[in-house]
Amino acid sequence: MSLISTPRRDVAWIGRFSALLRYGVLIGVGLIMLYPLFWMVAASFKPNHEIFGSVSLWPQDPTMDGVVKGWRTGTEYSFATYLLNSFAFIMPKVVLTVVSSVLVAYGFARFRMPGKQLWFALMVATILLPKSVLLIPQYLMFREFGWLDTYLPLYVPCAFATDGFFVFMVVQFLRGIPPDMEEAAVIDGCNSLQVLWHVVVPVIMPAIISVALFQFMWSLNDFLYPLIYLSSVGKYPVALALKMAIDVTEATAWNQVLAMSTIALLPSLIVFFLAQKYFVEGITSGSVKG
């Protein structure tokens, strides 16, 4: 690998050629990766006939028609309603996930207790457990609770650290931090909850942000759970609204649907670009540092 710098000319030439090759591959793949996204954004501002008519990205005849109609949607609610609905369950979901994951991870990472290995192993196992095996009984259970067509089934479980992945992520992060600081805080008079609040939480803030961001993104993408639990259109989140849009919009009104998709992706994109490093840190913490 190009670790040892080589001043010799012939080698430098090979180096440059290989760099060129690499850039070629990277740019080619990057283009394929991003083109559909650009096409989607561009199509939102094209009249329909132009979407079918040309491969070109730039709209020759730009129009806001798709965006406006898409925002209005074919239903009695505007897209704003669906966006707000999404946030209505995502916000509690994110908060509950963060709080419960941190508490549980702290317990696992910092306390000696009998049976810990077993519980930890079970926690990791739940990460691998397919959700569909739990889906039906959970549905029946929430039906018994009278929670159908509410957001409760979507976020209440998060208060109980049901996403083992996040607990695992925080545990891994905590294991990388020597406990000295927390011991200093104990000597300074903190009980374990004060240690958590005054010392651990500030120190593991990057992990906490990662958890919040991932949960935010994944919840925006949530489809199956809203699909089975929500029945009134007025409570639909964006994901369901989009699915409904492709079913009810006239088959030719592509620009509306694609404009809606673009808008639907905006929150994720904005969050991702504002906080990119937390995603990379988060996804790698569970796999590499372990």
Structure tokens at 240: 């369901």
Q: Which region, judged by CB under 8 A, interacts with another protein, from 59-67, 68-76, 87-95, 187-195?
A: 187-195
Per-residue binder mask for another protein (CB under 8 A), 66-95, x = binder: ------------------------------
Q: For residues 242 and 6, give the distance between their C-alpha atoms in angstroms, rounded to a whole number.
A: 55
Place of tokens 């998709």: 261
Nearer to another protein, 76 or 189 (CB): 189
The verdict on 55 binding another protein (CB under 8 A) reads yes
Shortest Cβ distance from residue 234 to another protein (Å)?
A: 18
The verdict on 179 binding another protein (CB under 8 A) reads yes
Contacts 24+ apart (CB under 8 A), 41-50: 41/262, 43/254, 43/255, 43/258, 43/259, 44/70, 44/255, 44/258, 44/259, 44/262, 45/255, 45/259, 46/255, 47/255, 48/252, 48/253, 48/254, 48/255
Per-residue binder mask for another protein (CB under 8 A), 259-288, x = binder: -xxx-xx--xx--x---x--xx--xx-xxx
Shortest Cβ distance from residue 246 to another protein (Å)?
A: 6
Q: For residues 209 and 278, give the distance between their C-alpha atoms in angstroms, rounded to a whole number.
A: 7
Which residue from 231, 239, 274 is spatially nearest to 260, judged by alpha carbons? 239
Q: Which region, judged by CB under 8 A, interacts with another protein, from 63-71, 72-80, 87-95, 234-242?
A: 234-242
Among 11, 14, 84, 135, binds another protein (CB under 8 A): 135
Per-residue binder mask for another protein (CB under 8 A), 194-233, x = binder: x---xx--xx-------------xx-xx-xx---x-----
